[in-house]
Structure 1
Amino acid sequence: MPPREDHHARPPCPSPVPVGADALQAPALLRRLLRAKDRMDAASHEAWPVRRLAEISGVSEAHFAHSFKRAFGVPPHRYLLTRRIEQATTLLRDTQLSITEIAFATGWESLGTFGRIFRDITGQSPSAMRVELQASMPQIDRVPACILKAAQRPDLTIAVLEKRRRVAGDTFRPPTTEAQ
């Protein structure tokens, strides 16, 4: 005899985070992560250590770093690098500020670090990027700013060190752990 179905049984009580579901589906956590992300967007020139971002989000440092990467696909530091490079690219295109002024205005502590990271991410030096962007200005003027920004957004889904290793043809050993 088949088991009898009880149509009057109560469904199980819902848990705050559904069992087996991704914890990032919790709207409260996403709002907290977005709050920190928005702060980084608004002031990408400032220092944003994980401790500060975790305080803004109201979660522990480890939980913040892990959840941010799961939610946005990149660690917080890489996200910040993306924003700084985007802003530097815009300043290179739209202003006559010196490379040094742009480096410091976008939050870099040294011109050398700015130049190295900029080249690693974009494939060009800041001055070469400026020449290329300003040469294409008549065509760029017809593109909406939001589309232009998205097209020029650097891809930081892999670490800068990994990009360097690939370019060097595996001539140096990567570290055993990645700094986040």
Structure 2
Amino acid sequence: MWHDLFSMGIPVLDKIVRTVAVFLVVAALLRFTGKREMAQLNGFDFVVMLLLSNVVQNAIIGPDNSLWGGILGAVVLLAANAVLVRVFIGRFDAKPIVLARDGAYVGKALRRLALRQGEVDQVIQAQGGDDVADVDKITLEPGGAVVVRLRHEEQSASYGDVEALNARLDRIERLLEDLARRPRDAG
């Protein structure tokens, strides 16, 4: 039993090469099919990701089902991801991509990223807007987050905004009361 847990069925270098190769191919395929990070996955995308992980599992582990083999595979995957993110992603994806500007979609960017307007509309509505006409700018950030900047008149008031307005109204009321108390010139 202990032997099966700790004895890898394939050489360590074979395990590392398999893991890195599958990681790079899957990362390239995901990149090729569109820049949609986990935060933007719809239900179908999520199912594809789950099935994809099962499809490539045997290519990574090979005939090895040992504990050490699984740990080594996990360490190599995380290391490869860290290297890819720090070295390559920072160089190639350093700028946000504008998805909409001044109330209109940037169709070329949406097509390049394989995003539908309906998907972006959902993000706009989650941020308090009604549709793209309410938007000053929408960007897809390098980390995958979609940032919506509503036009100034479409932005919701904050608690601080309401408090400042109440304070101003209080001052106006006091001024009006002071004016009402002053004796009028009979003149």
Larger relative contact order (Cα-Cα within 8 Å, sequence gap ≥ 6): 2
* Greater Cα radius of gyration, structure 1 or 2: 2
> Counting helix residues as a fraction of each chain, which structure ranks higher?
2
Query: Normalized per residue, which structure has more strand?
Result: 2
Q: What TM-score, normalized by structure 1, do the two folds share?
A: 0.32
Structure 2 length as normaliser, TM-score?
0.31
